[in-house]
Amino acid sequence: MLGLDPDAEETPARLLPRIPVRTPIAGTVIERSVTNGQFVGPDTAPILTIADLANVWVQADIFERDLHYISIGQKADVTTTAFPADRFSAQVSLIGRSWIR
Protein backbone atom coordinates (compact mmCIF):
# COMPACT_ATOMS: atom_id res chain seq x y z
CA MET A 1 0.00 0.00 0.00
CA LEU A 2 2.82 2.42 0.72
CA GLY A 3 4.83 1.68 -2.39
CA LEU A 4 7.18 -0.71 -0.63
CA ASP A 5 8.44 -3.65 -2.65
CA PRO A 6 8.59 -6.67 -0.30
CA ASP A 7 10.52 -8.67 -2.94
CA ALA A 8 13.29 -6.07 -3.27
CA GLU A 9 16.83 -7.42 -2.94
CA GLU A 10 17.94 -4.53 -0.72
CA THR A 11 17.25 -4.33 2.97
CA PRO A 12 15.17 -2.41 3.95
CA ALA A 13 12.73 -2.62 1.05
CA ARG A 14 13.11 0.36 -1.27
CA LEU A 15 10.37 2.95 -1.73
CA LEU A 16 8.86 2.91 -5.22
CA PRO A 17 8.25 6.31 -6.88
CA ARG A 18 4.67 5.43 -7.92
CA ILE A 19 1.88 3.67 -6.08
CA PRO A 20 -0.67 1.82 -8.22
CA VAL A 21 -4.32 2.68 -7.54
CA ARG A 22 -6.77 -0.06 -8.48
CA THR A 23 -10.49 0.29 -9.09
CA PRO A 24 -13.24 -2.35 -8.99
CA ILE A 25 -14.78 -1.00 -12.22
CA ALA A 26 -13.48 -0.54 -15.74
CA GLY A 27 -13.58 2.86 -17.34
CA THR A 28 -11.70 6.02 -18.26
CA VAL A 29 -10.31 8.58 -15.83
CA ILE A 30 -12.23 11.77 -16.63
CA GLU A 31 -11.17 13.85 -13.62
CA ARG A 32 -8.13 13.85 -11.33
CA SER A 33 -8.40 15.82 -8.07
CA VAL A 34 -4.82 15.35 -6.86
CA THR A 35 -1.39 16.52 -7.95
CA ASN A 36 1.96 14.75 -7.82
CA GLY A 37 3.26 14.59 -4.26
CA GLN A 38 -0.04 15.58 -2.68
CA PHE A 39 -0.93 13.83 0.60
CA VAL A 40 -4.29 12.08 0.68
CA GLY A 41 -5.90 10.50 3.70
CA PRO A 42 -8.98 8.38 4.37
CA ASP A 43 -11.20 11.46 4.86
CA THR A 44 -10.13 13.05 1.57
CA ALA A 45 -12.61 13.54 -1.29
CA PRO A 46 -12.33 11.09 -4.21
CA ILE A 47 -8.97 11.41 -5.99
CA LEU A 48 -10.22 10.19 -9.38
CA THR A 49 -13.50 10.12 -11.26
CA ILE A 50 -13.89 7.12 -13.55
CA ALA A 51 -16.64 6.85 -16.16
CA ASP A 52 -17.81 4.21 -18.59
CA LEU A 53 -17.72 6.07 -21.90
CA ALA A 54 -19.21 3.25 -23.97
CA ASN A 55 -22.45 5.26 -24.09
CA VAL A 56 -22.68 9.00 -23.66
CA TRP A 57 -25.50 11.53 -24.05
CA VAL A 58 -25.47 14.43 -26.48
CA GLN A 59 -27.84 17.33 -25.98
CA ALA A 60 -28.61 19.35 -29.09
CA ASP A 61 -30.59 22.51 -29.66
CA ILE A 62 -32.85 22.30 -32.71
CA PHE A 63 -34.68 25.24 -34.21
CA GLU A 64 -38.44 24.88 -33.81
CA ARG A 65 -38.90 25.15 -37.57
CA ASP A 66 -36.65 22.06 -38.02
CA LEU A 67 -38.29 19.80 -35.41
CA HIS A 68 -40.36 17.99 -38.04
CA TYR A 69 -37.09 16.59 -39.46
CA ILE A 70 -36.26 14.81 -36.17
CA SER A 71 -37.83 11.59 -34.84
CA ILE A 72 -37.18 9.11 -32.01
CA GLY A 73 -34.87 6.31 -33.16
CA GLN A 74 -33.41 8.37 -36.00
CA LYS A 75 -29.69 7.91 -36.60
CA ALA A 76 -27.39 10.93 -36.46
CA ASP A 77 -23.73 11.75 -36.94
CA VAL A 78 -22.30 13.99 -34.23
CA THR A 79 -19.15 16.11 -34.40
CA THR A 80 -17.57 18.05 -31.56
CA THR A 81 -15.35 21.07 -31.19
CA ALA A 82 -12.80 18.96 -29.29
CA PHE A 83 -12.55 16.37 -32.10
CA PRO A 84 -13.58 18.20 -35.30
CA ALA A 85 -12.24 15.50 -37.63
CA ASP A 86 -14.14 12.67 -35.88
CA ARG A 87 -17.75 11.64 -36.48
CA PHE A 88 -19.64 9.80 -33.76
CA SER A 89 -22.70 7.63 -34.46
CA ALA A 90 -25.77 8.52 -32.42
CA GLN A 91 -29.48 7.78 -32.16
CA VAL A 92 -32.25 10.17 -31.09
CA SER A 93 -33.79 8.89 -27.85
CA LEU A 94 -35.70 11.93 -26.55
CA ILE A 95 -37.30 15.00 -28.05
CA GLY A 96 -38.69 17.88 -26.05
CA ARG A 97 -38.52 19.29 -22.58
CA SER A 98 -40.53 16.58 -20.81
CA TRP A 99 -37.69 15.90 -18.35
CA ILE A 100 -37.79 19.52 -17.06
CA ARG A 101 -40.60 20.20 -14.57
Asked if residue 87 has pLDDT above 90, the reply is yes
Q: How confident is the model at residue 100 (pLDDT cuts 50, 70, 90)?
A: very low
Mean pLDDT of 40-51: 83
Q: How many CB atoms lie within 10 A of CB 48?
A: 13
pLDDT at 82 over 80: yes
Please name every residue paired with 32 in a beta bridge, in sequence order, or none if there are none.
Answer: 48
pTM attached to this predicted model: 0.52
Check residue 89 and give its pLDDT: 92
Q: Which of 78, 77, 72 is nearest to 92 (CA)?
A: 72
Average pLDDT value for the chain: 80
Domain boundaries, the chain: 1-54, 55-101
- 76-101 CB burial, b ≥16 within 10 A, e <16: eeeeeeeeeeeeeeeeeeeeeeeeee
Q: What percent of the chain clears pLDDT 90, i.e. is strictly above it?
A: 28
pLDDT for the residue 76: 92
Q: Which residues are within 8 A (CB) of 66 and not within 5 positions of it... i.e. 6 or more apart?
A: none
Q: Between β-strands 28-32 and 88-91, what pairing exists: parallel, antiparallel or unpaired? A: unpaired
Supply the pLDDT for residue 34.
Answer: 85
Convert the pLDDT of each residue in 11-41 to its tens digit.
Answer: 454 555 566 778 888 899 899 888 877 877 7
